[in-house]
Amino acid sequence: MNPPSPHAACASADAPSEVDLASLPPALGIGCRFEFEAVAPTHAVVMVEPHESERGRVLDERFAASGVSISTTYSDGFGNRCRRMTLPAGRSAFTYRATISNDAGFDVDDVDAHELPVGDLPDHTLTFLLPSRYCPSDELATVAFDEFGTMAPGWQRVDAIAGWVHAHLGFAYGSSSPTKTAADALRDRTGVCRDFAHLMVTMCRAVNIPARYAVGYLPDIAVPDPGTPMDFCAWTEVFLADRWYTFDPRNHGQRRIGRTVIGRGRDAADVAMTTTFGAVRLVGMTVTAEGVDGADG
């Protein structure tokens, strides 16, 4: 097992009071398996590996694809690791497994983090103020102003947005779709974690707070067992003071540990787990994210 990293120390200091720190696993086992059925060889781009910014946490990893001879990776404009491969006709599958340090700490609660006037925001954050496909902050501008426009800027306002999203959407499996926007979710009052994240991103941008969409692995550590199969999770990152902070409107009220970012972008359009350029059916998917003993992950 690795010695505790500075991150882990910070995490400990920051842990919710009720958590027994000694019980936290030193490492995480993450991964997934996708199975496809294709009518012809079909090119695909796969995004399931930790984001470039998370590479330092990876202890070991393995990507294996049955029936796929070659795969190459590249990093897209958001630092997401994209893997290209050509799926063969018929059945095929790929598996990704990694052991990573559980040293990113609990979600940070920094009530002193302040909002910046737009003019003081770093250049790289500005794209995260614009409307995007699933986050039409222009269409929901009046809702956002009505609800949050007159609140004092800062962490509390952002947290109020997370709470409002949590209160206004009901979580329901099967309630999302590939074309569902944050405006649709608010109309339906229903969604999955993707929709919660989109709605929070949208509200933040509409009041000029940079916000981006993140997707990754999130183990159920120090929280009640949800009793449902593990899946990828989506959440929101918000730029306050001088950094991006994690907010999770789906799990608002919980501080989580073990998040591992796979992809970041303006919204889900930028971080599809798999993109296939042809007639391919996804016939199976499993996701793993759990605490493990790091030494032999």
Q: How far apart are CA 4 and CA 1, in angstroms?
A: 9
Q: How far apart are CA 279 and CA 175, in angstroms?
A: 24
Given 61, 139, 220, 231, the residue binding its own copies (CB under 8 A):
139
Considering the rule CB under 8 A, would residue 55 count as an interface residue with its own copies? Answer: no
Half-sphere exposure of 277 (CA within 13 A, CB side): 8
Residue 171 CB-density burial (10 A; 0-12 exposed, 13-18 middle, 19+ buried): middle
Stretch of 23-31, 75-83, 153-161, 196-204 contacting its own copies, by CB under 8 A: 75-83
Stretch of 21-29, 119-127, 192-200, 284-292 contacting its own copies, by CB under 8 A: 119-127
Compare residues 107 and 270 and give the one whose CB is closer to its own copies: 270
Q: Is residue 278 within 8 Å of 40, Cβ to Cβ?
A: yes
Q: How far apart are CA 19 and CA 295, in angstroms?
A: 23
Helix (H, G, I), strand (E, B) or coil at 276: strand
Compare residues 107 and 195 and give the one whose CB is closer to its own copies: 195
Q: How far apart are CA 161 and CA 155, in angstroms?
A: 10
Smallest gap from Cβ 34 to its own copies, in A, equals 18
Smallest gap from Cβ 140 to its own copies, in A, equals 7
Smallest gap from Cβ 122 to its own copies, in A, equals 9
Smallest gap from Cβ 143 to its own copies, in A, equals 5
Stretch of 126-134, 233-241, 247-255, 281-289 contacting its own copies, by CB under 8 A: 126-134
Smallest gap from Cβ 251 to its own copies, in A, equals 20
Half-sphere exposure of 136 (CA within 13 A, CB side): 12
Sign of CA dihedral 171, 176, 182, 184: negative
Given 133, 160, 223, 230, the residue binding its own copies (CB under 8 A):
133
Question: Which residue type occupies 280?
Answer: V
Q: How far apart are CA 16 and CA 256, in angstroms?
A: 9
Q: Is residue 259 within 8 Å of 237, Cβ to Cβ?
A: no
Smallest gap from Cβ 257 to its own copies, in A, equals 32
Q: Binders of its own copies among 172-231, rule CB under 8 A?
A: 178-179, 183, 186-190, 208
Considering the rule CB under 8 A, would residue 127 count as an interface residue with its own copies? Answer: yes
Compare residues 45 and 230 and give the one whose CB is closer to its own copies: 45
Considering the rule CB under 8 A, would residue 253 count as an interface residue with its own copies? Answer: no
Q: How far apart are CA 261 and CA 150, in angstroms?
A: 33
Q: Are strands 170-171 and 190-191 parallel, antiparallel or unpaired?
A: parallel
Instruction: Give residues in contact with its own copies (CB under 8 A).
Output: 43, 45, 74, 76-77, 82, 84, 86, 117-119, 123, 126-127, 129-133, 136, 138-140, 142-143, 146, 168, 170, 178-179, 183, 186-190, 208, 269, 272, 275, 277-278
